[in-house]
Amino acid sequence: MKLVTAVVQPHRLDDVKTALEGAGVRGMTVSEASGYGRQKGHTEVYRGAEYTVDLVPKVRVEVLVTDADVTAVTEAIVGAAQTGKIGDGKVWVVPVEDVARVRTGEHGDAAL
């Protein structure tokens, strides 16, 4: 099993969700995030005082998948989130030792 985590532009979230559903993903966790990469931040001016806001809003999508589905899910996210501009975000994959479904007590792939 793998955990696929994607940090993407907030306005791509709907397309990412649709693409994930198309790839057979049945559940995900979405949370608001903030950060920066090469995009860096932006400046805001309040009564003449300039502030550099280096953290910009992002959305974090987390999906648990079987080993077999990893490539398809990753590519689905990349395809849906991509605009080609700096700030599109990142997707990464880490191994997961075990997963339990709380309602039934199932473990492993059966719990996904």
Partner 1 sequence: MEPVLDTGVSAWMLVSASFVLLMTPGLALFYGGMVRGKSVLNMMMMSFGAMAVVGVIYVLWGWSMSYGASLGGIVGNPFDQFGLGGSFDPVALLDDEGTRYMPTIVDVGFQATFAIITVALISGAIADRARFGTWLVFAGLWATLAYFPMAHMVWSGGLLSDGGPFVFGDAAPIDFAGGTVVHINAGVAALVLALIVGRRKGFGTEPMRPHNLPLVMLGAALLWFGWFGFNAGSAYATDEGAGLAWVNTTTATAAAILGWLLVEKLRDGAATSLGAASGVVAGLVAITPAAGDVSPVGAIVVGAVAGVLSAFAVGLKYKLGYDDSLDVVGVHLVSGLWGTVSLGFLATGTGLFYGGGFNQLAVQVIIALIAVVFSAVVTLVIGYVLKVTMGWRVPEETEVSGIDLAVHGETAYENSGSTITEAR
Q: Which stretch binds partner 1 (CB under 8 A): 17-25, 46-54, 57-65, 99-107?
A: 46-54
- Of 54 and 75, CB closest to partner 1: 54
Count interface residues toward partner 1 (CB under 8 A).
8
**Cβ neighbour number for residue 80 with a 10 Å cutoff:** 20
* CA–CA distance, 88 with 55 (Å, rounded to integer): 14
Q: How far is CA 52 from CA 29, 44, 58, 73, in A?
A: 30, 6, 17, 36
Q: Which stretch binds partner 1 (CB under 8 A): 7-15, 30-38, 45-53, 73-81?
A: 45-53
Binding site for partner 1 (CB under 8 A): 44-51
